[in-house]
Amino acid sequence: MCTKFFTCLFICLGIGLQTAICQQPDNRSVKTVQPELQKKKINFFIVSKRKKGKLDLATRYNVMRSKIKGFFCRKQFVAIIAGDTKQACSKIINRMKKKDARLGTVWFDSHGMFKKGYSLFFIGQDELSYITLKDSAISSQFERLNPYTDEESRFVIGSCYGGATYTRSSIDYKDSSRMNGDSLMIALGNTIRNGKVYASESWVMTKPGLFRRRPSVGGFPGRKLFRDICYEPAWKNMGVWNQYDVGTGIVKRSNPVTLDRYGNLIIRGVPFTHERSFRKSYHKKLSRLESNLYK
């Protein structure tokens, strides 16, 4: 009885071991697929290289804090200073290849120029607008990023008026022009061909700062010239962002965005203009816009 029991036990163990050995190749084949789908993502903060003889305190501040952030979160976040689009994309690609990673969030930190009458942002000496992105010399650089993007990649135009869709009065009040921020978002998204693009209808401020869950890029500039009546559309659209989904081809409204400590995109649940502490000051400024302040 005892002998028969142990004989049966050894047979069962032998069958189980044989089954496990036979299944190993299947397990290995699954594992060869998974890493491709689970590549780690790296977030980038792109800042323009400073022009000689020109001091830009806001940009210098962003360079300093993004470099510090990159030092402590180097596995997930990289700050890049670039002289042009080609250099920025090359640095991104080099890091992607080195880390065998995919693109997470890319924030293009830049100034906008309301007086030009259309939405834009800069990467070093290159001006990016819906017009210049038609130039293959510019668009081909972004197309190089395609192999490293997926539907979860996020691209943020971090310039004032980068996503503006309203009609803006000219500085001298003689004519008006549509800002075409949606066209800029679409043009950028169509060169990258994946993910989503975000941009603001109004100002993108550096105070109280990025990398936090607070209002972050909310607020308005303090200089007197921004209280000129020509800036009324920007005042009325404070806290309004737009999102372009490359996959669906749809542009729609979005709440304000910010970056967390690792450079991941965060969309706020409530626009900062709805907060009680901000509304009184905001409506006061909006009701007191004047003419001939822009000089």
pLDDT tens-digit map of 161-192: 999 999 998 877 778 899 999 999 999 999 99
**CA distance linking residue 121 with residue 110, whole number of Å:** 6
Q: Are 249 and 182 in contact (CB under 8 A)?
A: no
Structure-model confidence comparison of residues 55 and 117, the more confident one: 117
pLDDT at 152: 95
Compute the average pLDDT of residues 40-46. 94
What pLDDT does 75 receive?
A: 76
66-110: pLDDT as tens digits: 555 555 556 788 999 999 999 999 999 999 999 999 999 999 999
Q: pLDDT value at position 27?
A: 35
Q: Closest by alpha carbon to 203, among 295, 291, 282, 259? A: 282
Could you report the per-residue pLDDT of 103-137, keeping only the tens digit for each?
Answer: 999 999 999 999 999 999 999 999 999 999 999 99
Is cis: bond before 215, omega within 30 of 0? Answer: no
Burial of 178 (0-12, 13-18, 19+ CB in 10 A): middle
For residue 214, is pLDDT > 60?
Answer: no
Q: What is the predicted pLDDT for the residue at 222? A: 86
Mean pLDDT over all residues of the chain?
Answer: 81
pLDDT of residue 4: 44
**50 pLDDT above the threshold of 90:** no
Nearest Cα residue to 107 out of 180, 162, 182: 162
Query: Does residue 19 have a pLDDT over 60?
Result: no
Return the ∠ at Cα 178 (arms to 176 and 182), rounded to 5°: 165
Residue 265 has pLDDT above 70, yes or no: yes
pLDDT of residue 264: 92
Length of the chain: 295
Better pLDDT: 26 or 69: 69
Cα separation, 58 vs 207, in Å, equals 10
**Cα 268 from Cα 216, distance rounded (Å):** 10
Write down the pLDDT at residue 274: 79
